[in-house]
Structure 1
Amino acid sequence: MPGVEPTNGLRRVAATRYVTPFREGGSLPGLVEADDLGMYVLKFRGAGQGVKALVAEVVVGELARRLGFRVPELVLVDLDPELGRSEPDQEVQELLKASGGWNLGLDYLPGSFDYNPVVREPSADLAARLLWLDALTLNVDRSWRNPNTLLWHRELWLIDHGASLYFHHSWRPERFPAAGYRFDAADHLMMPFAGPLAEVDAELAARVTPELVREVLALVPDAWLAADEAFGTPEAVRDAYERFFAARLAGPRTWVDELEAARAARV
């Protein structure tokens, strides 16, 4: 692919105040205020999961948005390490100092809380669609224990996609992830509620076109992709992600058959 501007489509803001950490996440995200007066949940490039978790957040979050799911706005947040100077928690202070430059922010949804399908049961169609999306993107982090979905204004919102596309943490050109990557959905949040997958698969697979994938990949900053040592250049990394999605969506999609078999076994 040709080179892509690093912020093609994602707004840029600058963090002006660090408010508080969120202790629930393994990467210690924090709430920040920005120069647009907005509040954002900040995912740090200096966290242990590294910049590839931010890449996954953008790719999967923006793909989900284009498939009709509700996802908080994603923005690029310029962080001045000096914001950590007055932070009393040493762990947070070190994280802020290690994360200077562009980080990822998710629009803060005040008053939202973890979604519980037992309290508000999803439709069979919505459950099937979310199950399909997570299987496509290999999102291993949407379970009963860690739903990574919020209820806000009585609607379901998707968050925290950093654990998706897990293969990119150890990929190599000569050992590229196969279309048949298995996805264990036994503990997935939506498995007990999902309807049949055949129609959902036909519709969503047709919508994830190469053009749509390129559009989403264009949102990832070049600097984040340039850090990938396996492929060398941002263009090569984008090409690799394109090949993954093309292989994943090529027929026959055995992973969809496996999902449907697992779903039908629970009915």
Structure 2
Amino acid sequence: MTPFLAELVGTMILITLGAGVCAGVALNKSFAQSSGWIVIGMGWGLAVAFAVYAVGGISGAHLNPAVTLALAFQGAFPWADVPGYIIAQMIGAMAGAAIVYLHYLPHWKATDDPGAKLGVFATGPAIDHPFSNVLSEMIGTFIFVLALQALGANAFTEGLNPLLVGFLVVSIGLSLGGTTGYAINPARDLGPRLAHFLLPIAGKGSSNWRYSWIPVVGPLLGGSFGGLFYSAVFKGVLYPAFWAVLILIVIVLGIALQAGRKRDAKTANKLVA
């Protein structure tokens, strides 16, 4: 198996199990319906662990463009391989979402809420606030990449690392995931969102493309900065990209803040009118 195929299959496993737990909790007439946030958090953590177990020895199991980009910025992964890895991750994410759609086939029609159906595939904000939403995704992915690299610096019993990565995802989900659903992975959100848009899901409603940039840009910047921060603080190696990514983060947060203010102003004007 090539690294490209390994990333595709690994991401497919990740999304099949991750989106699958979301479907079980959200869709009507599922035995797991309404089982709660802890079940979702554990489901995603185990999904990451077993996906890493499956392909870690072949591709390194990035399964996440934010991880791939962070490693490339550190010089630990060749830039020439970045596009191929990201394409594989996106294809795998869409394939995993399609498997979940087929697995729960009769439950889509039995579920009236289009928001619940979208939530199976993609994330969304608990409170729609662009600045806070993109900041949440940045923080979650920053912690993920930072802690991921710290795990790699420690010696564990052979085969235990993937399980610890899964517990890291559980921790982020339970502690930081309540604001935006913790995408912390552009492929995890954009791939299934595209699948939601393309698949013939009964009564599916909007794919919420207005929000879709946040779980892509936030994790890419937060994860990249997490890797560069680890290199600077833990290893004493300050790459020039550290400052470039930090400036981009400030710019994106400024844009999000202005976008939120403009939207709030329009809403206020409509209410007055």
- TM superposition score normalised by structure 2: 0.26
Q: Normalized against structure 1, the TM-score is what?
A: 0.26
Structure with greater helix share of residues = 2
**Higher relative contact order, structure no. (Cα contacts within 8 Å, ≥ 6 residues apart):** 2
